Chain A
Amino acid sequence: MIEQILSNMWYIRPEIALTITCLAAILADVFFKRKALVAGVVLGGLLASGVLLMEQYGVSAPAFSHMLAVDPFSVYFRGVILVTAMFVVLFSLSSVEINNPRLRVGEYYALIVAMTLGMTLMAGSSNMLMMYLSLELTSLSSYILAGFTKNAPASAEASLKYVIFGALSSGLMLYGISILYGLTGSLDIYAINHVLMTMGANRLALLIAGVLIMAGFGYKISAVPFHFWTPDVYEGAPVTITAFLSVASKAAGFSMLMRFMKVTFIDSTFAGPVGTWALIPGFEFTNILIVLSVLTMTLGNLVAVWQKNVKRLLAYSSIAHAGYMLMGLVVLGNDGFAAVLIYFVIYMFMNLGAFFVVMLVSNKTGSEHIDTYKGLGSRAPLLSVAMAIFLVSLTGLPPTAGFIGKLYLFAALINAKMIWLAIVGALNSVVSLYYYVLIFRNMFLREGTGSTEPLKFALSDNIILFLLLIPTLVLGLYFTPLVQFAQYSVAMFGVR
């Protein structure tokens, strides 16, 4: 037993590195009280964790008696989460909101690391208990981070709403888990799958359990109808945390949902062509996911049209993007999952980029209202062009990366003969064009009402902007390596 635990330590080395980083950040803060030093420690720790993660490339094994699965799928998502966390730390260094002298930033960075740790565990969890614990670690850290700017009432409100919704949905999820445990006698998702295949279960009870558990996941990925917290939290939280929640938290939720669905409810003995799956009888989750997906993207896009606060607008846009990605889960097959993985990397760059521009504008003007962007094209040409490219990419138009992401999603749907769902997705993209163009129009075609002085940004800000901008453009033209990596990373431990 002890030998097994010791030998399994290798599998959680990235997580151990994150734990040490979290403690080191706290100590660095109380010892030296230098904000830049704490950020440096955190960046170094995230980098070290990333290096340790790379060593796990190509491994596929269970760890700690099936508590965690270390496989290409979890390595891929942990990579996305770590890169996002690094960008968020970089954002935080130049955020005026976070560097307010009245705030203690040491805890802020330590909590970002704690949240990253929770999310990397979510990506690998293959036991319902581990899933719940890592979800709670992520949620508890994000509640505090969402309310970190204590002097802003909107931030406190966001935090409170987040806690209440989080408590409700994790309660629902736990209830679902308990029913599933009662039905199958196990919390290990591989064992649950085995029991469901050999003995089956009561259809109604299984449906209730599945729907309740999905409510927990749906809250994390902000799928309609579990999305109510999203706009308020995204608007109230500091921009850096909004960016973090909209990318990393969603990635972690998706990875957990995908692993749960694929391992638990897919027939592991199905002998069809490689890359196709069959559902085990009793719980047809694809029908639920189709409904969720259509609702999520339609509501997200339609409500975004009326938003006047750019952060809130991007919140609804991120709800819509969760809807697009859910389409990839409906396709029972590797190409659907691969499309989601491709989409996530692209979404990371374009969405972080859009939020970074929002942060830079609010650093200078103190406002996130859409009217602030009037005349920005002449005041900050580079920034405006970058924002335009991110918005075009979020819409999904060539030659940007967003187009490639949508292309693979729609291709997977059409191959699976779900053309009508692809049409719904395409129509939604058209709606989204309207509100993205609103920002575009304000930046380039409207005269500013206030100051017309050019906005100057630090060199470091411009470098971060380019770090996000270049992948958004390059992945639109040269995407083969990403696609191959994603297709390889679909593999999960123990399932075909």
Chain B
Amino acid sequence: MASYIPIFLMLAAAAGLGIILLTLHQVLGPKHPTEEKLSTYESGMSPIRTARERFSVKYYMVAVLFILFDIEVVFLYPWAVNFRALGVFGYVEMMIFIVILLVGYYYILRKGALKWD
């Protein structure tokens, strides 16, 4: 347990520093609130309306499918780098992997998951 004491000290110091800085800022900082300053920060744009709206589930479908095939590409990179070392076995294995994903791609195509209208 004794070997953990430095970690606890570190935790206490970190929490203490945070608390002190936030309090000092509250006490010492000047406050001149205007309407612009109090509005939501949207990377410099002035906010138009509430963000809590319903939007089409199609965005969600496309996002999920994008992630799926994006990860496929991530797997392809290390394979491509080691292509010579892995040889025929690696090639066949990667083809099986791609075929499985192609079946999935064909499935989403036929089910119309990529149709926007």
Contacts and interface: CB of A to CB of B under 8 A. Distances in A.
Interface in B91-112: 100, 103-104, 106-107, 110-111
Question: Interface residues of B: mostly helix, strand, loop or mixed?
Answer: helix
Interface residues of B, number: 10
Contact of B89 (A6, A19, A30): A6
A260 to B, nearest CB: 30
Contacts of A6: 89
Contact of A30 (B86, B100, B110): B110
B89 A2 contact: yes
A28 to B, nearest CB: 11
B79 to A, nearest CB: 14
A26 B107 CA distance: 7
Question: Interface residues of A: mostly helix, strand, loop or mixed?
Answer: helix
A382 interface: no
Given A30-B110, A30-B111, A23 B89 contact: no
Nearest to B87: A2
A19 B89 CA distance: 19
A27 B89 contact: no
Contacts of B86: 2
Contacts of B104: 26
- Most chain B beta-carbon neighbours within 10 Å: one of A6, A19, A27, A30: A30
Nearest to A33: B110
A23 B111 contact: no
Contacts of B111: 30
A29 to B, nearest CB: 8
A401 to B, nearest CB: 41
Contacts of A5: 89
Interface in B10-46: none
A132 B107 CA distance: 28
Contacts of B107: 26-27, 30
Nearest to A19: B100
Nearest to B106: A30
A23 B101 CA distance: 10
A30 B102 CA distance: 13
Contacts of B100: 19, 23
A6 B96 CA distance: 14
A288 B107 CA distance: 47
Interface string A165-180: 0000000000000000
Interface string A7-35: 00000000000010001001100100000
B70 to A, nearest CB: 20
A30 B107 CA distance: 7
Interface of A: 2, 5-6, 19, 23, 26-27, 30
For the complex of A and B, the 8 pairs showing the least CB-CB separation, nearest first, are A30-B110, A23-B103, A2-B89, A26-B107, A30-B107, A26-B103, A27-B103, A23-B100
Given A23-B100, A23-B103, A27-B103, 7 more contacts: A2-B86, A2-B87, A5-B89, A6-B89, A26-B104, A27-B107, A30-B110
18 contacts: A2-B86, A2-B87, A2-B89, A5-B89, A6-B89, A19-B100, A23-B100, A23-B103, A26-B103, A26-B104, A26-B107, A27-B103, A27-B106, A27-B107, A30-B106, A30-B107, A30-B110, A30-B111
